[in-house]
Amino acid sequence: MSPGGALPDLRSLARPELAALVGELGEKPFRARQLFRWLHRNGAATLDEMTDLSRPLRAALAARTSLMTLERATEQRSVDGTIKWTWRTGDGKLIESVYMPETDRKTLCVSSQVGCALGCTFCMTGTMGLARNLTPGEIVDQVHRANRRLVELGEGPAPRPLTNLVFMGMGEPLHNFDRVKAALELLLDEDGPNFSHRHVTVSTSGLVPVMRRLGEETQVKLAVSLNATTDAQRDLLMPINRRWPIGELLAACRSFPMKQGRRITFEYVLLGGVNDTDADALRLSRLVAGIPAKVNLIPYNDNPGLGFQAPAPERVEAFHRILFDRNITAVIRKNRGADIAAACGQLAAVGATGGPRRPAAPGQGAVTLTDPGGLGY
């Protein structure tokens, strides 16, 4: 039994932990594999579904463990095929995942925390503050529930219509790294959903020491939300920059262990009249020069009340052109699901933490990070 008396969640257990549990119950090792496949390949919602496990084994599991399954609270479908789901956790928090179908891939954008502690001034999630970390089970179950629902909707074959995952939903994945890493291990397991590490991207606002761990301890791809080209400006937009400024962030990118042919994705939210000038584009091209990189230009998605505006379309084009002319690969990210507030930076489940708090005034953003992941900063 875990501290506090709560039963351990089967969905969060690592494979060796599941094997040990099944062994303690006097079962043969292959039963652990069967159970793992029910949990993570089939995304079973209840023990009752696991019909090839004996009733006594299911009863013993029910007595010693719990099984966390997210409840689908809302489903919103965009005209462009994007689907946003709100899921309710066991303790009544709301989190969001966004499905983005394209011709060659079907991607799910997953959340890693309820809210976010980092307080970027243009981001809706950032206005919520951090309510809590998600568990490994809550992270992977977004994928299981989405897969099951997509099969129902005819979006692809069972058990896994999804091909790609991006950790770009609510929260800062590297601020909850141990649980995100545990979730990645479940998601990449060949008896689970069996995603390829080439098809999984973790995005960070720049927690430099944890970026190193991501590179050493996993093989997934890295995306970095850069969003500004001077420390003065990034300090205002992303308070994390005061802890790890641009120079340190890019040094960590340069030393990130890169697999053959891989590139780091730099995300750059274009904020009209703020960071979308020709001078910004020139600085950006110099900053990323020499790093195997791709730049995703994301025109700001409006969040009323945050005080920013979308860039003029011709600014976006001019910015892109400057990068292109300097041989920087850059794409303008399509504004997906904006009609259902599913676009980047618009995720903030109403009621998840009691409603958005007022954003920090410029220069007063949260610099003190809480350390729920025990990361030592």
Give residue number: closest CB to ligand SAH.
345
Indicate if 155 belongs to the active site.
no
Give the nearer residue to ligand SF4 in terms of CB position, either 184 or 306.
306
Other Cβ atoms closer than 10 A to 362: 11
Q: 19 or 118, CB closer to ligand SAH?
A: 118
Q: Could you count the other beta carbons within 10 Å of the beta carbon of residue 194?
A: 13
Residue 300 touches which of ligand SF4, ligand SAH, none (CB < 5 to 8 A by kind)? ligand SAH
**Residue recorded with tokens 């590139």:** 263
Name which of residues 206 to 225 contact ligand SAH (CB under 6 A).
Answer: 225
Going by their DSSP bridges, the two strands 164-167 and 200-204 should be labelled as parallel
**205 makes contact with ligand SF4 (CB under 6 A):** yes
346 forms part of the interface with ligand SF4 (CB under 6 A):
no
Q: Which is nearer to ligand SAH, 70 or 347 (CB)?
A: 347
Query: Among 116-124, 139-147, 288-296, 298-306, which window interacts with ligand SF4 (CB under 6 A)?
Result: 116-124
Establish if 344 lies at the interface with ligand SAH (CB under 6 A).
yes
- Sign, CA torsion 163/169/174/180: negative
Q: What are phi and psi of 281, to 5 degrees?
A: -65, -40
∠ CA 222-225-228, nearest 5°, is 140
Nearer to ligand SAH, 15 or 262 (CB): 262
The DSSP-derived string for 51-98 is TTS-HHHHHHHHHH-B---PEEEEEEE-TTS-EEEEEE-TTS-EEEEE
CB 237 within 8 A of CB 122: yes
Mark whether 123 is an active-site residue. no
Which residue's structure tokens are 């209840």? Answer: 46
- Residue with token string 């720049």: 206
Q: Are 241 and 206 in contact (CB under 8 A)?
A: yes
Instruction: Considering only the stretches 2-10, 63-71, 92-100, 122-130, report the one whose residues sit in contact with ligand SF4 under the rule CB under 6 A.
Output: 122-130
Integer Cα distance of 151 and 295 in angstroms: 33
Q: Which entry of ligand SF4, ligand SAH, none binds 95, CB below 5 to 8 A by partner kind?
A: none
**Could you say which of 211, 269, 341, 352 contacts ligand SAH (CB under 6 A)?**
269
| Structure token digits, residue 96 | 């969001």
225-249: burial string, b at 16+ Cβ within 10 Å, e else: bbbbbbeebbbbbbbbbebbbbeeb
Q: Is position 172 an interface residue for ligand SF4 (rule: CB under 6 A)?
A: yes
116 binding ligand SF4? (CB under 6 A) = yes
- Here the tokens at position 29 are 């090792």
Measured from the CB atom, the residue of 65 and 218 that comes closer to ligand SAH is 218
Q: How far is the CB of 26 from ligand SF4 (least distance, A)?
A: 45
Q: Confirm or reject binding of residue 298 to ligand SAH (CB under 6 A).
A: yes
- Other Cβ atoms within 10 Å of 209 Cβ, number: 15
Number of neighbouring beta carbons within 10 Å of residue 255: 11
Interaction residues for ligand SF4, span 269-288 (CB under 6 A): none
State the nearest-atom distance from the C-beta of 211 to ligand SAH, in Å: 11
Instruction: Name the minimum Å distance from CB 372 to ligand SF4.
Output: 14
Q: How many residues bind ligand SAH (CB under 6 A)?
A: 18
The residue whose two tokens read 């110099």 is 286
Question: Which 103-162 residues touch ligand SAH, going by CB under 6 A?
Answer: 116, 122-123
Dihedrals phi, psi of 332, to nearest 5 degrees: -90, 120
* Shortest Å distance, C-beta 258 to ligand SF4: 23
| DSSP 8-state symbol, 104 | S
Q: 233 is in the binding site of which of ligand SF4, ligand SAH, none (Cβ under 5 to 8 A by kind)?
A: none
Spot the catalytic one: 109, 123, 253, 344. Answer: 344
Binding site for ligand SF4 (CB under 6 A): 116, 118-120, 123, 125-126, 171-172, 205, 225
Please report, as ranges, the residues that interact with ligand SAH according to CB under 6 A: 116, 122-123, 168, 172, 203-205, 225, 227, 267, 269, 298, 300-301, 303, 344-345
Question: Catalytic residue positions?
Answer: 96, 344
